[in-house]
Every structure is written in structure tokens, then in C-alpha cells.
Amino acid sequence: MNMYLNTRQINGFKALSLCSVGLIGFIISLYGQSDFLLQAGDVWRLISAPDNNDINQQIIFLLRLPRSLVACLIGVNLGIAGALMQGLTRNPLASPTLFAINSGAACLMALNSIGFGVLTHIPSEVATFAGALIGGLLVFLLGGGLQQNANPLRLVLAGIAINGLLTSLTRAALIIADDMAYSMLHWLSGSLSEVDWQSWSQLWPVSLLAFVLALSTCRGLNLTALGEQTASSLGINVTFLRGRVCLTVLLFTSISVTLAGPIVFVGLIAPHLARALFRHNYFLLVPASGLIGGALVCWADLLSRSIVPPAETPVGIVTALIGTPFFIYLVLRGKS
């Protein structure tokens, strides 16, 4: 039976094709587009006959594998975060980028690295997390997130204003500390080139926790889709739900932005694609958005290494370049 309140219905074919698109991207990104001559066979040998002295295997294991894993998981995180935000605000345009989470993180990161005031004394991860928190909360509160039936446009406008403010602060920081401008710019565009196994070990526990939290909000989000008053009448504590969703989104995005910088548009596009496949049920939408996001970032990372080799284009630029035309298409196609 087709149930809205639990997870019984999964469309096997769609799910399988999604997984395989992601998996193919993942495997190709393990050996493709490298300065070294790596081949698919090396990946296979790493699994079947691991050899510590084989330089190709070592490159794949120490450099490529963590990078691909992190890319995938960050995509998953951003995809789910986008789906949750769109569900909570019932606004198809909500995304981590709109909520100034990325630019908040970037701003504090930039201020931290140029040694601004007290910010010098805290580790950059903490600064980034705090920035994400501040940016997101500012937009949420100023955009009328706590009021009933707040106009979605107001949220968009608040997002634009806060984004503009934080972005120009970031730029000012870059201009003042011009010796670090290039590396910061790279980070600000979202880059996976610094990722290693340590990033992976920071990433997965947080993501797992956030994922469990995300699943626990699915039913509430399904009911919130009927309107907040209806959801409340059906026994959902809407304020509590909002708090939980916000916390989840912050966990997902802040850990991702800390490790790889802002990777834009994934959180916006993945849920839209997922909705085209699985409609409105968040029990399906959340994992599907995650899968799509993961596949998207994986392929974008692969592309980012092949546009102008040997230089790496930051992956965030690639997602933006792919994402925008698609987004415009979505906006124009949708019903008014």
C-alpha cells in the first residue's frame, strides 16, 4: 500500500539507476584525470590484490579514495540539507546558499585566516561552524522564519541582503590580506583538493548523526506540507520540528563547508531532481536527494579536474556552471 507516513514504498528501478550513476562517477573519479597514469585495473587490483609497494595503488588509496569518498558524502549532505530546508519553509528556493550558511562560514573563515580580533584564537573549523550558524540563523530570523505564514519572498530578500553583506566583508578581508587571496579564493569557490583521510574521519560521524536526525524529521515534514496549521492539528509540534530541522541542516552544511568550502547549487538542485522522481514523500525524498547530491558532486569533481588540466577548477564553480542553466529551466518550467 502506498503510505505517506512510513517508508514502505521504494521504486526499485529509479533507486537502482540513481545508485549506479553515482557509483560509476565514483569509480571513474578514483582513476580518471590524473597526472599519473592510473587505470581502472589499478582500482580493481587495490581491491583484489592489495600491494603496498605499488605506487599507483598507493596514490589511489591515499589520495583518490578519500577525496572521492568526501566528495560523495558532501554531496549527500548538501542534497539532504536542501531537501530539508525546502520542506520546512515550503519554499522551493530554499537552499544552504540562500540561507547565507555558505557565505557566513566563508566570512568567518576569511576573517579567521587574516587574524581578525578574537577570531585568531579559535581553530578555523570552529570559526567556520560558527559562521554557518550565524549566517543561517540571521536569515531565518530576519526573513520571518518564526512567524506564521511568512511570505517566502521575504526570506529570499533577507537571504540576498545577508549574503551580500557577508560576501563583501569576505572580499574586504581578502583585499586587506592580499598575500592569501589566491588560496582563499580557491577555498571560497569550493575545492576538494586539500581533502585526505583525516577529513573523512571528521566528516562521516557528523554526517551519520545528521542523517539519523534527518530521518526523524521526515514524517513531520510530510505533514507540514499540508500547511502548518494542519500539521499542528495532526499533533506535530511545529516549533520543535523547526528547531530540529535547523539543527540538522546546520550539522550537514557546516561540516561540509568547513572541509571543502561552499559548493553551491547542489542543495538547490538535488531536491528538485529528487522531487521529479519521487514526488513529495520525504521518506523517499531525503535519501534520493542525498544520492543525487552525491552523484552530482562526484561528477563535478571529476569534471573540475578535466576542464583546464593540470590546474584544478574549484568544484563549486563547476557545480554553479552546471547548476544554473538547470535551475533557470526549473524555475521557468514550474507552474506560477
Partner 1 sequence: MSRYKQLLFGGAMLLLMLAGISLIYGAQTLSINTVLHTLWQGGEQDFIVNDYRLPRILIAILVGTGLAVSGVLTQGIIRNPLASPDLMGISGGAGLAACTVLLVWPNIGSVWLPVVALFGGFSAALIIWLLSRWQQPSPARLALVGIAMSAFLSSCINFLLVIHPIEVNSAMIWLTGSLWGRNWSYIWPLLPWLLTLVPFSFYLAWRLDLFALGEETAQALGVDTQRLQIMALLSAVALASVSVAVCGTIGFVGLLAPHLARLLVGSRHQLVLPIAALVGALLVLSADTLARNLAPPLELPAGVLTAILGAPYFIFLLHRYKGW
Partner 2 sequence: MLTIENLTIGYAGVVILDGLNITIPQGKITALIGPNGCGKSTLLKTISGSLKPTKGKVSLAGQDLSKLSHKTKAQLLSILPQSPITPEGISVRQLVSCGRNPYLSHWGGLSQQDRDEVQAALIETGLCDLADRAVDSLSGGQRQRVWIAMVLAQDTDYILLDEPTTYLDLTYQVELMEMMQKMNRRGKTLVVVLHDLNQACRYCDHLIVMKKGAIIAQDEPHKVFNSQLLKEVFSLNATIMMDPIANKPMCIPL
Find which of partner 2, partner 1, none residue 4 binds, CB within 5 to 8 Å per kind: partner 2
Q: Does 11 bind partner 2 (CB under 8 A)?
A: no
CA atoms in the 13 A half-sphere facing the CB of 262: 30
- Which distant-in-sequence residues (6+ apart) come within 8 Å of 229 by Cβ? 148
Q: Does 232 bind partner 2 (CB under 8 A)?
A: yes
Amino acid identity for residue 1 in this structure: M
Least separation in angstroms between residue 4's CB and partner 2 is: 4
Q: Does 84 bind partner 2 (CB under 8 A)?
A: no
Tell me which residues in 123-152 interact with partner 2 (CB under 8 A): 148
Question: Is residue 100 left, alpha or beta, with left meaning phi > 0 and alpha meaning psi from -120 to 50?
Answer: left
Q: Return the number of the residue (68 or 95) whose C-beta is nearest partner 1.
A: 95
CA angle 250-296-208, nearest 5°? 40
Q: Does 165 bind partner 1 (CB under 8 A)?
A: yes
Alpha carbon distance 317, 265 (integer Å): 10
Q: Which helix (H) or strand (E) holds 308?
A: none
Q: Does 117 bind partner 1 (CB under 8 A)?
A: no
- Could you tell me what percentage of the chain is helix, strand and coil, using 3-state DSSP and rounding each to the nearest 5? 75, 0, 25
Find which of partner 1, partner 2, none residue 148 binds, CB within 5 to 8 Å per kind: partner 2
Q: Does 161 bind partner 1 (CB under 8 A)?
A: yes
Q: Does 264 bind partner 1 (CB under 8 A)?
A: yes
Residues 304, 314 contacting (CB under 8 angstroms): yes
Distances from the Cα of 15 to the Cα of 24, 25, 41, 78, 136, angstroms: 14, 16, 27, 19, 31
Least separation in angstroms between residue 160's CB and partner 2 is: 25
Q: Does 313 bind partner 1 (CB under 8 A)?
A: yes
Cis peptide before 205 (omega within 30 of 0): no
Q: Return the number of the residue (28 or 321) whose C-beta is nearest partner 1.
A: 321
Question: Which string of x and - marks every residue 290-319 that binds partner 2 (by CB under 8 A)?
Answer: ------------------------------
Residues that bind partner 1 (CB under 8 A): 93, 97, 142-143, 150-151, 153-154, 156-158, 160-162, 164-165, 167-169, 171-172, 174-176, 178, 181-182, 185-186, 188-189, 264-265, 308, 311, 313-314, 316-317, 320-321, 324-325, 327-328, 331-334, 336
